[in-house]
Amino acid sequence: MADFRVGIDFGGTKIEIAAIANDGRILLRRRVPNPSEYAAAIAAIRDLVEGVESELNGTGTVGVGIPGAVSPDTGLVKNANSVWLNGRPFARDLSEAMSREVRVENDANCFALSEAVDGAGAGSRIVFGVILGTGVGGGIVVDERVLVGRHSIAGEWGHTPLPWIRQDEFPLPRCFCGNEGCIERYLCGSALAEDCDGPGSRDAHSIPERADAGEEKAIRALDRHAERLARALAMVVNFLDPDAIVLGGGLSNMKHLYIQVPKLLGRHVISPQFSTPILPNKHGDSSGVRGAAWLWPRDQPRIYRTSGS
């Protein structure tokens, strides 16, 4: 058995690494900017892992969460909003660079796994993990195992259409995936910023503070965002009926979501009662690296795959 598990959260702007002991304690954690260039990113991950192992004087298993998925048919990355990853044999190239097996999974799956195993969703049989940040993603965990699916796209909720679309939400925004009207293009950070401050706006971080100060424009933008999130999550409840929904990503820190969204969500759920908890994540910024590390449990990967994959 390895001395520890190494988890890597490969984000749009940063690469974060953590070494995690078998009991879940974080032994070491650090982050560096993502160079956003393929060969440089492979080298950066290799160097980070080697540095951690040298500092801890041991060898770890390596799991990586990415903003996309590895196709089971080709081994190439697909559906990444860091589009320069698409079509690349990322898992294979990482394994070759480090001369060992590296497990690569979607970052939302890693987040959901972390929160289902020992986070906010611990003890829940079915957990839907949501990423609200630069992009919008989802991960499904059943009995503490990631549900991946035949095409490695289970939980790709951000690239389904926003349901119960309204007249003032036209024209449908175009998504990097090639479709129009995707949930991601209504709920990600830049979408919230543009809805509040107009085309070209990218930073949503100040909007909650401005709303708290009474700025009507910010209040209305947050209300629209919460109502759209409620509609989008109602669709998840209608087809998956999870025991818990856990929010992650930068926008998950907006406290009003946990007050407004549950009140709005029930009207779209096909049940007289709605009681699914909408929870803030427990592990915060550590959820991505923890979930990536837990791709290597003691016995077997915590992953469900269908017979066709």
pLDDT of 176 above 50: yes
| Whole-model pTM over 0.75 | yes
Percent of the chain with pLDDT strictly greater than 70: 96
Res 308: pLDDT: 46
Res 300: pLDDT: 45
Res 79: pLDDT: 82
Q: Which domains does the chain have, with CATH numbers?
A: 4-110+286-304 (3.30.420.40), 123-281 (3.30.420.40)
User: What b/e readout covers 186-224, taking b as 16+ CB neighbours within 10 angstroms?
Assistant: bbbbbbbbbbbbeeeeeebeebbebbeeeeeebbebbeb
Please say whether the beta carbons of 111 and 291 come within 8 A. Answer: yes
Res 301: pLDDT: 45
Q: What is the average pLDDT value for the chain, to the nearest integer? A: 92
CA distance 288 to 293: 9
**pLDDT category, 30, cuts 50, 70, 90?**
very high
- In this structure, what DSSP letter does residue 172 have? P
Q: What is the mean pLDDT of residues 5-28?
A: 92
Question: What are the tens digits of pLDDT across the range 141-157?
Answer: 999 889 999 999 999 99
Burial environment of residue 271 by CB neighbours within 10 A (0 to 12, 13 to 18, 19 or more): exposed
Please say whether the beta carbons of 283 and 26 come within 8 A. Answer: no
Res 1: pLDDT: 57
